[in-house]
Amino acid sequence: MSEFKEFATKWGLVVDLDKCTGCGACMISCQVENNIAPVVEASNKLRSLNWMWIFEMTNGKAFPENDAAFLPRPCMQCGKPPCVSVCPVVATDKNEEGGIVSQIYPRCIGCRYCVGACPYHARYFNWFDPIWPEGMEKAITPHASTRPRGVVEKCTLCHHRWNYAKEKARQEGKDPSALPENAYVPACVEACPTGAMYFGDLKNPKHKVHELAKSPNAFRLLEKLGTNPQVYYVSAREWVRKQGDNQLPAKEKA
Amino acid sequence: MGVDRRAVIGLIAGGAVGTMFTPAIWKTTGSIALWSQNWGWIPRIPKGERKYAYTTSKLCPSGSGLKVLTVDGLPLTAAGNPAHPLSQGGVSALGLSECYLLYSPARVKKPLLKTGAQFKEISWDEALGLLADKLKAAGGKAAAISGDQNGTANEVISALLAKLGCADKFFLMPSEGQAAGRAWQLMGGHGLIGYDLANADTVLALGADLFESSGATMLNARSYSAQRSSLDKPAAKLVYVGSQRTTTAYASSKWVPCLPGREAAVALGLAALLIKGGASSDAPDFADFKAFVSAGYTPDKVEALTGIKAEVLEKLAKKLTEAKKPLVVAGSEFGQGAPGAAYMAALAVNILLKRINVPGGVYATPEFPKVVDGALSRTQMASADLVKYLSSVAAGKTPAPELLITYDANPAFGLPQAPAMAKALAGAGFKAAFASFMDETAAQADLVLPASLPMERYDDVVSPYGAPFAVYSLVKPLLKKPVHDTKAACDVILAAAAKAGLALGADSFEKLLKTKVAAVAKSGGFIAGKDASPSAALAGKDVAAFSGDPWKALMEGAAYVVASPVKQDGLTLGTKTLAAALKADGAKAEDGALALTCAYKTRSGSPAVGIPAQDLTAVRDTELAGTKTVATLNAATAKMFKLEAGESIKLTGPAGEISALVALSETVMTGVVAVPMGFGHTAFDDFSKNKGQNVLAVMTATEEPATGVNSWSGSKVKIAKI
């Protein structure tokens, strides 16, 4: 795998799975914010497209020893993104301060190599044009351009919100590269009723995620693949942490 | 001079090299990429000034404050208003849907009159005239059903019925608030009930799905969040008792499985243990209560009734005793249909723990003054039981109303034994439905009056059930004019009443709300904010009373809060009522029947809203498989009934049957089948229609002796393979 840059600011998401109720507010706020068209067949999961998806986890034991949890999955914003290495047209890249993996729709030729390469199933291909029910396009937001069929899309950690936060900082004469905690949070984090999601600069000790990501309860999905995600999970439950790595035999601790 | 081969090749090669040096080809290639993605049918994003507007969610029962993004004055997305005490920045799937639902394909766009089997569009003048005539003609034989649980709209409608001489026919759609209110009254309590989760250190949720359907859900969730930093140990414990892993159970430190509808037995079992451990109360019936629970609710008996092992119950009682600020909240796993005894028993435990009107306990909150003459108070509204009335109509014991007004309510879909209830409704002489969407009730109405949605009208949210403080906030129109030819329902009611000679003292709802706000502002409360947190006020912090223009402040999205509880005198433990209500508890042992529980999630909408378009993707395939309802059982239960995953089954209740696909999950206790709620619409749009089946059809409403509360959280169903 080719080498990727290291950035001074690394936007990171930490999800406390012990606080997540699987309510879906993150998914819905994401869809509305980022102009994902509602689909009548959405109850058929093969037709739906979600930048944020919630997986259900179970310890596999029978009732009453059973335990279960939900795992919200946005794009992991990998430090070594497998999707970027395979994109033939540089439609996706990890090349901007903050470490958010970009997705440039007009460049995308729809080859779907990235979809196949992503181990987290975080990328979705538009098999259909986005059609809003008549009139509902009036509620489209200015944040994300609508995507036609034939291109791949994914979570951007609401990159536009970062732009707005930087804009605001500049207007107020503050340093846009040193945003205070919560000046920029994605829609999912903002909406979460139980406060299961934390967001901030992983490299900034003033941001809570900096400490949370180092917690002994923290883990990342399929960590052993070496993708180095910027999305962390925490859980006090060992079985949850183990499943996060698909229970592969432990080799070395990163 | 001839053109030879060499010259042609030279020209082509020269041309090719030449184009490499002009930007034209690269620019064109880039543009092709853009052009090929800019088809006319792909909507464009708006480009205007981004602004935020603040209002309150009326569609979400939690009464959350909303922060709405507008571009060029059009509301686009809703997030939680961080300054509003009931949302504190959080928002539910229903609150989120308020903007785009304005454009829902299911909206009623014009007044409709049924002629034969079809609707025909009529003008507002005709509609108003017709409604006024029907009001005059109906006299005392009218009835009204409101889907609003707390707003001033209920004052308007109940006052209208009072003018007609039938105030006793004003009903709310069944909710936890009503049943809990009834229970509180029966125990001699005054005021409305709320739970101070923010200041509690141990919360025991008995059935109540605190983060999804019970009480002030968003406030509950935010309080929970504030107590958990994810770095340190949680500042409070949360234990969930119920038959399935509900939303609240997933966030709890412990899930204690318990048969559905048996919350009262758990609470009384705990009460017995607490009393055994030395707890007592000044309540006049304490001695009777002690005798009642000590004899009838020993851990062994509770185990037989609920499935909770004696040692687990003892541990729970110990947890409550050891806690400094314990709180017990009862409810239904799906936000409706819990028996009155459940609330009474849980309140009795709180009384034994001395947790009434103390920080982190149960608060009795004051009602704000009424502003419409003849209107019912919240307490009065809680005592009218819609299910009881409709059951009586269906049985022919009570005559069907000659005029039935439904307001933001969908009783044809949202009541237990849905088919029987829909039939009772159909018997009404003339049905006028104030509806924003073409729901099941509007579809069978004679006159459909298109109601403006909250973002198109003035309205208010008044102390939603479960808030530990009295709270008032306004809903204001964010659009300059409604999207369709709709009107604010209360404006129409006021106008029709005036036309029928029953003037209610105001000619517009906006003016009435101004009167209400002026009256509310005299309650000595404060405007909630960063330095004026209602939870902190409850915990003893002094907050300066509000002075200023209350209408202006509330129109900017603020919430007016009164955080001083209603004093209680003569509170009892409700022993007599409890004993009578629970006489038959555990007596029935059905053969081959399975306890039924429902899973309700705000993402599946509400009866009057349907499934919001954007929420459908969040509906899991463990709830809805394509268009089929999924019934969840654990492996042991499935084995008992010889069922396997993916098989089709029929669930039969006394009033109807539904079909479902079997899914196996160990998140439901043995002996229970969990079926998702909110599906099976036959009206609305393609996002709601024909998706799954309505589980309410197979629920059984039973009138509880002594409390008179109809409950269906302990329903049983027969199950058969098809």
User: How many Cα atoms within 13 Å fall on the side-chain side of residue B323?
Assistant: 28
Do B308 and B385 fall into the same domain?
no
Cα–Cα dist B684/B535, whole Å: 40
* Structure confidence at residue A252 (pLDDT): 46
C-beta atoms of B79 and A48 within 8 A: no
Number of H helices, E strands in chain B: 24, 29
Residues B361 and B397 both lie in one domain: no
Q: Are B437 and B485 part of one and the same domain?
A: yes
Residues B216 and B361 in one domain: yes
Alpha helices by DSSP H, B307-410: 310-322, 340-352, 378-382, 386-394
In a domain, B551, yes or no: no
Q: Are strands B74-80 and B50-56 parallel, antiparallel or unpaired?
A: unpaired
What local confidence, expressed as pLDDT, does residue A249 receive? Answer: 54
Question: If we measure between CA atoms, which residue out of A207, A198, A153, A154 comes closest to residue A179?
Answer: A207
The distance of A78 to chain B (nearest Cα, Å) reads 23
**Are the CB atoms for B429 and B405 separated by under 8 Å?**
no
Beta strands in B269-378 (DSSP E): 326-330, 362-365
**Poorest-pLDDT segment among B91-95, B289-293, B318-322, B513-517:** B91-95
Asked if pLDDT for residue A3 goes beyond 90, the answer is no
What is the rounded distance in angstroms from the CA atom of residue B474 to the CA atom of residue B549? 14
Cα gap B431→B421, rounded to integer Å: 14
Residues B346 and B392 in one domain: no
Looking at the fold, whether B168 and B190 belong to one and the same domain comes out as no
Which residues does A170 contact at the CB level (< 8 Å), separation at least 6?
A176
Taking the CA of residue A202 and the nearest CA in chain B, the distance in Å comes to 15
Residue B532, in any domain of the structure: no
B239 falls within a domain:
yes
pLDDT at A1 over 70: no
Range from A34-48, B378-392, B434-448, B635-649 carrying the lowest mean pLDDT: A34-48
Q: Give, as one character, the DSSP assignment of residue B360.
A: T
| Intra-chain end-to-end CA distance of chain B, in Å | 91
pLDDT higher than threshold 70 for residue A250: no
Total Cβ atoms within 10 A of residue B632: 26
Point out the residue among A27, A190, A211 whose CB comes nearest to the CB of B618.
Answer: A27
Dihedral angle of Cα B439, B445, B446, B450, to the nearest 10 degrees:
-40
B260 and B157 inside one domain: no
Option in A19, A63, A105 nearest B230 (CB): A19
| Of B275, B517, B547, B504, nearest in space to B375 by CA | B504
Q: Is the predicted pLDDT of residue B594 greater than 70, yes or no?
A: yes
* Cβ contacts of B212 on chain A, cutoff 8 Å: 21, 23
Only one residue has tokens 């009001």, namely B135
Tell me the two tokens of residue A13. Answer: 């998401």
Quote the tokens at residue B591. Answer: 């053969």
Q: What is the pLDDT of residues B466-496, one digit of tens each?
A: 999 999 999 999 999 999 999 999 999 999 9
Please give the backbone phi and psi of residue B693, each rounded to the nearest 5 degrees, phi first. -130, 155
Q: Which positions in chain A touch B229 (Cβ < 8 Å)?
A: 208
In a domain? residue B558: no
The boundaries of the domain holding residue B67 are 50-103
Q: Complex ipTM, two decimals?
A: 0.94
Q: What average pLDDT does this structure show over B182-192?
A: 95
Are residues B358 and B565 in contact, defined by beta-carbon separation less than 8 angstroms? no
Taking the mean position of all CA atoms in its chain, how far away is CA A252?
A: 26
pLDDT tens-digit readout, A105-137: 988 999 999 999 999 999 999 998 999 999 999
Q: Dihedrals φ, ψ of B169, to 5°?
A: -105, 25
Looking at the 3D structure of chain B, how many domains does it have? 5
Q: Which CATH architecture has domain A11-244?
A: 2-Layer Sandwich (3.30)
* Residue B553 located in a structural domain: no
pLDDT at B416: 92
Angle, CA B533 vertex, CA B527 and CA B535 arms, to 5°:
125
B183 contacts: CB under 8 Å, gap ≥ 6: B340, B341, B342, B343, B344, B347, B574, B707, B709
Tens-place pLDDT, residues B4-56: 999 999 999 998 888 888 888 888 877 887 777 778 888 889 989 999 999 99
Residue where one domain finishes, among candidates B309, B333, B365: B365
The reply to whether A234 touches chain B by the CB within 8 Å rule is: yes
Whether pLDDT at B57 is above 60: yes
A45-71 residue pLDDT tens: 777 899 999 999 999 999 999 999 999
Given strand B447-450, what is the order of strands in its sheet?
A: B118-121, B112-115, B447-450, B430-435, B403-407, B142-146, B170-172
The pLDDT of residue A254 is 41
The answer, yes or no, to whether residue A253 has pLDDT greater than 50, is: no
| Buried b or exposed e, range B478-488, using 16+ CB within 10 angstroms | bbeebbbebbb
Closest alpha carbon to B246 in B222, B221, B265, B269: B221
Residues B703 and B614 grouped into a single domain: yes
User: Could you tell me the pLDDT band of residue A247, with boundaries at 50, 70 and 90?
Assistant: low
Whether residues B168 and B94 share a domain: the answer is no
Q: Which of B317, B342, B365 is the last residue of a domain?
A: B365
**Contact assignment for A66 to B667 by CB distance below 8 Å:** yes
Position B400 pLDDT exceeds 70: yes
Contact A215 B221 (CB under 8 A): no
**Residue A33: closest C-alpha in chain B:** B77
Query: Measuring CA to CA, how many Å separate A75 from each of A12, A101, A103, A232?
Result: 11, 8, 11, 11
The distance from CA B593 to its chain's CA centroid, rounded to whole angstroms, is 29
Q: What is the mean pLDDT of chain A?
A: 92
Strand locations in B563-647 (E): 593-599, 624-625, 628-633
Average pLDDT over all residues of chain B: 94
**Nearest CA among B248, B212, B293 for reference residue B579:** B293
Among B316, B342, B365, which residue terminates a domain? B365
Residue spans of alpha helices (H) in B404-546:
411-414, 418-426, 440-443, 489-499, 509-520, 534-538
- Tens digits of residue pLDDT in B667-709: 999 999 999 999 999 999 999 999 999 999 999 899 999 888 8
Nearest to B348 by CA among B535, B564, B579: B579
- Between CA B392 and CA B383 the distance in angstroms is 16
The helix (run of H) or strand (run of E) holding residue B250 is helix B247-251
Work out whether the CA dihedral A220, A221, A226, A229 comes out positive or negative: negative
B418 and B391 share one domain: yes
Asked if the C-beta of A34 comes within 8 angstroms of chain B's C-beta atoms, the answer is no
Question: pTM of the entire structure?
Answer: 0.94
Q: Where are chain A's structural domains? A: 11-244
Residue keyed to tokens 């104030």: B434
- Do the beta carbons of residue A238 and residue A214 sit within 8 Å? no
Q: Does A235 touch chain B (CB under 8 A)?
A: no
Distance from CA of B594 to the nearest CA of A (A): 17
Residue B175 and residue B107: Cα distance in Å, rounded? 25
CA distances from B74 to A31, A130, A164, B179 (A): 18, 21, 19, 39
* Residue A193 touches chain B, beta carbons under 8 Å: yes
- Among A28, A33, A137, select the one facing B43 at the smallest CB separation: A137
Alpha carbons A154 and A76: distance in angstroms, whole number: 10
CB contact under 8 A, A23 and B613: no
Chain B within 8 Å of A61 (Cβ-Cβ)?
yes
Residue B463 to residue B455: CA distance in whole angstroms:
20
CA distances from B368 to B145, B245, B354, B408, B522 (A): 22, 37, 26, 22, 9
Q: What CATH number is given to the structural domain containing B323?
A: 3.40.228.10
| B377 and B361 in a common domain | no
Q: Is the pLDDT of residue B589 over 80?
A: no
Quickly list DSSP for B391-407: HHHHTTSSPPPSEEEEE
Q: Which of B109, B230, B681 to mutate to test the interface with A (most CBs of A within 10 A)?
A: B230
Residue of A nearest to B246 (CA): A21
Give the nearest chain A residue to B69 (CA atoms): A141
- Same domain, residue pair B593 and B648: yes
Residue at token pair 């099941």: B440
Query: Are B624 and B632 contacting, i.e. CB atoms less than 8 angstroms apart?
Result: no
Least Cα separation, residue A79 to chain B (angstroms): 24
Q: Which two tokens stand for residue B596?
A: 């039924």
- Kindly report the backbone phi and psi dihedral angles of residue A181, in degrees, each rounded to the nearest multiple of 5, phi listed first: -60, 140
Instruction: Say yes or no: A215 contacts chain B, CB-CB below 8 A.
Output: yes
Q: Domain holding B93: CATH number?
A: 3.30.200.210
Q: What is the pLDDT of residue A230?
A: 97
Higher pLDDT, A196 or B585: A196
pLDDT classification of B2: cutoffs 50, 70, 90: confident
